[in-house]
Amino acid sequence: MTHPGEITRRQLLRRIGIAALAAGPGAGLLSACATAGTGGEPSAAPSAAASTSLQNPFGVDAKKPLEVIIFSGGYGDAYAKELHEELYKKKFPGVSVKHGGTQQIGTQLRPRFVGNDAPDVFNNSGPESMDLAALAAESQLADLAPLFDAPSIDDPAKKVRDTVTPAVLDNAKINGRDLVLNYTVSHRALWYNAKLFESMKWAVPTTWAEFTALGETAKKEGILLFAYPGQKGPYYQLWNVLYTAAKIGGNQVIIDIDNLVDNAWNAAPMKQAVAAWADIQAKYGDKAYFGLDHTQTQIKQLQNKLLFYPVGSWVENEMAKDKPMDFEYAIAPIPDVTAADKMPYGAIQVGVGENFVVAARGKNPQGGLEYLRIMLSKEGARGFTQKTKNLTVVYGAAEGLDLPTGLTSAAKAQDAAGQNIITDARFEGWYKELFDYGTEQINVVMAGRITPDQFCANMQKKADAVKKDDSVAKQTRSQ
């Protein structure tokens, strides 16, 4: 078990909010649905609507309304409605802020972009999130470089870019332009109930042999070793397979996939990872979970019907209202799959996520930039952590806060990982068609309807098609 007092809050902030992110920047959460449009380059920064100043660097018209749309998922949307929007209204007294919370970002916003009626700011996340690369190609996203170069609200002598972890800047770019703000720090690994393990005197497995042995033991207790949601969440397992491949073969496995390198999906570590998890599903899983969504699956875990669940650190807040007293979220790194894994046991994924963008053709893009600047203030970031129990990318914003046990567990795991940080797969935001295809195929292979080799071959065929498609803007990364 882990307890908040085992490490200091200062250590927690340093380990999660700063140190490891600089070593292993991640990408944002999901992208999705493409829109219609005329094409072109990403739009330039919005022109000032009023005179600029140190306090109003974007020239926001204080009387112009602002519209904000938030993905109401694991973090909810109260942090926006009750905190960030209120801070915006405090700065511009009397201004009207229209708030919208939804889990259907694509369904709601796609027709609005087509009709040139985009909201000023939107939080692009969840299974229906928008394809940001497509929006960028259609000149729909405002340039965020002025935001990063603007004076910080807390210290005008500093630029905003100097107050956030470098991973934010690394992951802001599409086609070389700063177009996306990733706001949160997340840890994606295997999550479990530390209290159950303590009561059963079970050790967290460090090798695949120990993992499968625990599966046999748990089976006798009527508990599944592992499950993931087959509806609205199969990408959780796609992430898990990709991170396992990186554990086996190093981060270059994921970098090659992102860069559309020939035969990247057919690399041996990728095949080993898919085979390992397909075997776990066949022996210790339950196909009935393919019909459950993420919330239903997470309820099953809270009922101790499954041990390990592949998800990110937002799960603790997402399930806070349902979590019983005898359940304590804790994080487990992926066990060693082979004796020759390139990354040692304890390697863990740490990244930035939760995309926020400003619509270039919105009615108030200047206000959108200011809204993001308010989010990146210490007051805005600290309040987000208080409401969601998750950290942001802003240095020092969580100092002194009481943080939940799951987040403390993640901090300890990250500390143990040191430089062994597994990178995010960025193709999920770069090539929507490829990632969506992967979320379909992962269910197929995990259900045993195709072999792991067939899964990799299918993914490679789709990646090759994307690579040959001149209408798809190509992105590259070096690390």
The sign of the CA dihedral 102, 103, 108, 113 is: positive
pTM score: 0.81
Q: CA dist 149 to 87, 164, 356, 358, Å?
A: 21, 12, 17, 16
Q: Average pLDDT by consecutive 10-residue portion of the chain (479 residues)?
A: 46 50 34 34 63 93 97 94 98 98 94 94 91 92 97 96 90 92 94 98 98 98 97 94 98 97 98 98 97 97 98 92 97 98 96 94 97 98 93 89 90 89 91 95 98 98 97 90
User: In angstroms, rounded to a whole number, what is the distance separating the alpha carbons of residues 415 and 319?
Assistant: 25
Looking at residue 241, its pLDDT comes to 98
User: In angstroms, rounded to a whole number, what is the distance separating the alpha carbons of residues 59 and 210?
Assistant: 60
The candidate with the shortest Cα–Cα distance to 367, out of 96, 162, 115, is 96
Say if 23-185+351-403 and 188-349+425-468 have the same CATH topology. yes
DSSP annotation string for 229-295: -SSS-HHHHHHHHHHHHHHHH-THHHHHHHTT-TTGGGSHHHHHHHHHHHHHHHHH--GGGGG--HH
**Contact by Cβ (8 Å): 276, 215:** no
Looking at residue 437, its pLDDT comes to 97
Looking at residue 260, its pLDDT comes to 98
Best CATH choice for the domain 23-185+351-403 from the list 3.40.50.970, 3.40.50.300, 3.40.190.10, 1.10.3470.10: 3.40.190.10
Q: Where are the domains of the chain?
A: 23-185+351-403, 188-349+425-468
Rounding to the nearest 10 degrees, give the CA dihedral for residues 95, 99, 105, 107. Answer: -100
Give the CATH fold of the 188-349+425-468 domain: D-Maltodextrin-Binding Protein; domain 2 (3.40.190)
For the purposes of burial, counting CB atoms within 10 Å of the CB of 175, is it exposed (0-12), middle (13-18) or buried (19 or more)? Answer: middle
Looking at residue 14, its pLDDT comes to 57
